[in-house]
A and B are shown apart, each in its own frame.
Chain A
Amino acid sequence: MSIEVRHICKRFGAFTALADVSLAFPDGELVALLGPSGCGKTTLLRVIAGLEQPDSGQVLFDGEDASDTHVRERRVGFVFQHYALFRHMSVFDNVAFGLRMKPRRERPSEAEIRRRVMALLELVQLDWIADRFPSQLSGGQRQRIALARALAVEPKVLLLDEPFGALDAKVRKELRRWLRRLHDELHVTSIFVTHDQEEALEVADRVVLMHRGRVEQVGSPEEVYHHPATPFVYDFLGSVNRFEGRMEATGLRVGESLLPHEAPLPAGEEVVAFARPFELDIVPAESGQGVPARVARILAFGASARVELDGEGEPARRFEVELPRERCAALALSPGQPVRLVPARLRVFAGRAEP
C-alpha cells in the first residue's frame, strides 16, 4: 500500500515537531526516516500510524484520506523501540494477540491461530521459544518477536520506531541485514526511523533526511551520500571537513588562504564549503597552497591512514584526512607538525549555515 502525507504540521506547546511535511512512500519500498534526535522523525511515524493527531494536514493510504481513521482500523504494524511486548503473556500469546482480539466473526479458529503464529515464529527464526516469556529473551529476540506480533495481523504498512536503537552494535548489524532480507521476502511497505546514518544507508531503498521538523532531502542512499542537497545533509552523513569563507573571483577565501574553486556563486558571497576526509590531501607547509593546519594525531591502522589535524583560529577547527598508507608514510608526519590541506573536491553552499 502506498502512503502519502500532505502538509503535516504538529506542535507540542512551543516546540514545532513537524513543519509542513509532505512526502510520498511508494508501495513496497523500505524507507528510512533519518535525522538527529528532535528532528520530528518519530512524530511523523506516529502520525502515519494514527498514534498522534497532526494539527493540520492529511495522511493518505492508497490515495484515500485516512486522517480520521483510528489506529485500530488503519492496519499498520507498529514496532516500538523498547519492544512493548506484553510481559504477562508468553511469546506465543504475544504474537497471537492481534488475531485473538478480532471480533468473533473475523476471528480465526484457535487451530488456525496456532498455525499462523507458529509460521510467523518460524519466519523470525524463533519458533523454539514460543513458550517463554519476554523477560527470558535477549534484546534482539524481543525485537524479532515484536516484529512477528506486528506482522500477525497482516498489516498493509509496517512502521518501525528506532527498531535497533536499544541493541548492542553486533546484534544491530545482524538484525538490520535480517530486516532487509525479510522485507525482500514480504514486500510490505515499510518505514523505519533511525538516527544512525549507516543503518539508514545500508538498509533502506530510500532515505528521507529530516531536520528541525522539515524534510531536507529525499533520495536513494547513493544520491544522498554523494550529492547532499543541503549543508545539513553533508554534515550529518559521514564525517566531513567544513570551511567557512567568502567567494572571490578565483576561488574561496578562507582566512588568509585562497582555495581555488570554480563555483557558480557571485564573488563576495558568504559560503560554507565541505570536503570528505578522503577528498583532502596533506602537503608540506612550505608549499603555500591550501589552508594551514597542525597534525594532532595519526591513526595508521586499517586499509588507509587517518590523520586528525587542528586548524588555525579560535576556536580551532578540527580536520580529518584519510590518506593511502603509502602516502602517509611518504609525508613522514609527526604530531605537532605544521602542514597545509588541499581539497581535491569542494562542495560549496551559499550562506553561513548554523553549525
Chain B
Amino acid sequence: MAAHTGVLPGFRLTLGYTLLYLSLIVLLPVAAVFGKTLELGWGEFVDVVSNPRVLAAYRLSFGAALAAAAIDAVFGLLLAWVLVRYSFPGKRLVDALIDLPFALPTAVAGIALTALYAPNGWLGGWLAALGVKVAFTPLGILVALVFIGIPFVVRTVQPVLEEFEPEFEEAAASLGASRWQVFRHVILPHVLPATVTGFALAFARAVGEYGSVIFIAGNIPFVSEIVPLLIIGQLEQYDEAGATAIATVMLVISFTLLLVINALQAWAARRGGKEQ
C-alpha cells in the first residue's frame, strides 16, 4: 500500500533488502547459536549454564558492563559538554583522541592498560602502595570497559549538544535559575535520550568485549573471568554445544537489557523532545 500512496518510491524493494540483509548478517548466526544449543538436552543445558563458575562469570560480565556504561554516560556527557561549549588550545586534538578507543585493536588496549596498571607498572605501582589492586581484578575489567566505551557516549551526545542553542541556558538564567537548576531542568532533559542511547551502545560493546579484558583481567575463576572467555574455554575443549549454551543465555539477557534500554530511551525522548 505504501508503495502506491507514499511519496518515497521503492518501499517494497528497500524493505525486502533490509529484511534479507538483517537475516543473513544478524539472524542467521544467532539462529545457528540456538540450533547448536539444541544438541543438548534440557537437563544438560541447565547443568552447563547453572554451573557456579558460569554464574559468577555472568554476574561479572553484565555487572561490569553496566557499571562501565554508567560511568561512561556520566563522563561522556561531561566530555561532550566541554568539547561543545568551550574553546581551548588543543581542542581538535582532544576531539580526535576520543575516537582512539574505536580505532585501537582491543588487544593493544588490553596490553597497554595491563602494562600501566600491573603492580610493576607506572600507575599500578602507585596504586599498590595505596593498597588498591587494579590489574587482575574485576576493577581492572571495569577500567578496560570504561576505556573502550567512552567514545560511544561522547559521539552520540555531542551532536545533540551542538544543536542546543546557548539561548535556552541564557533564558533559564535570566529567569533566576541557578547553574544546577539550568543543568537539571533545561540541559539534561534535552540530552537524556542521546545519553541513554550512548549508554546502550557502550553497554552492548562492553558485554561483548574480549580482547582488552582478557589481558588485564587475569582470568581467575570466580573472580575475574568473563563470559566470552568461558565460551572460548569450552571451545578449546571441543565442547561446542556447551559454548553455545552459555552464549544463548548471554544473548537472551543482552537482548532483554537492550529492549529495556530502548524503551527507556523512547520514554526519555517523549519527555525531552516534544518538538519532533
The residue in chain A whose Cβ has the minimal distance to the Cβ of B188 is: A88
- Does B155 lie at the interface of the complex (its beta carbon under 8 Å from any beta carbon of A)? no
A97 → chain B, closest Cβ, in Å?
6
Are the C-beta atoms of B189 and A88 separated by less than 8 Å?
yes
B2-31 CB mask vs A (1 if < 8 Å, else 0) is: 000000000000000000000000000000
Q: Which of B169-177, B229-237, B244-252 contacts A (4 or more CB under 8 A)?
A: B169-177
Any B CB within 8 A of the CB of A150: yes
Interface stretch (choices B107-115, B133-141, B200-208, B266-274): B266-274
Tell me the nearest residue of chain B to A106, going by C-beta.
Answer: B176
- Chain B 251-276 interface residues, beta-carbon cutoff 8 Å to A: 271-276
**Cβ–Cβ < 8 Å partners of B102 in chain A:** none
Of all chain A residues, which has the CB nearest B170?
A51
Interface size classification for chain A: 20 to 34
Among A49, A84, A97, point to the contact of B177 (Cβ < 8 A).
A97
**Cβ contact within 8 Å between A101 and B177:** yes
Is B174 touching A88 in the complex (CB atoms < 8 A)? no
Tell me if B181 is interfacial: C-beta within 8 Å of chain A.
yes
Instruction: Tell me the interface secondary structure of chain B in the complex.
Output: helix
Q: Does B168 contact A (CB under 8 A)?
A: yes
Q: Most chain-A Cβ atoms within 10 A of its Cβ — which of B167, B175, B185?
A: B175
Q: Are A51 and B174 in contact (CB under 8 A)?
A: yes
Which of A74-82, A114-122, A214-222, A326-334 contacts its partner? A74-82
Q: Measured between alpha carbons, how far is A278 from B271 in the docked complex, in Å? A: 58
Does B186 touch A at the CB level, under 8 Å?
yes
A74 to B171, CA, bound (A): 13
Would B276 and A72 count as touching, CB distance under 8 A?
Answer: no
CB distance from B181 to the nearest CB of A (A): 5
A88-B273, A88-B274, A134-B274 known; A101+B174 contact, CB < 8 A: no
Cβ contact within 8 Å between A153 and B176: yes
Are B170 and A84 in touch, CB under 8 angstroms?
A: yes
- Provide the residues of chain B in CB contact with A77, threshold 8 Å: 174
Interface hits, B201-249 → A, CB 8 Å? none
Chain B contact residues, CB within 8 Å of chain A? 165, 167-168, 170-178, 181, 185-186, 189-190, 271-276
Binding site for B on A (CB under 8 A): 49-51, 70-74, 76-78, 80, 82, 84, 86-89, 97-98, 101-102, 133-135, 149-150, 152-153
Instruction: Please name 12 pairs of A and B residues whose Cβ atoms are closer than 8 Å in the assembled complex, sorted by A.
Output: A51-B173, A72-B173, A72-B174, A72-B176, A74-B174, A80-B170, A84-B165, A84-B168, A86-B185, A88-B273, A88-B274, A149-B171
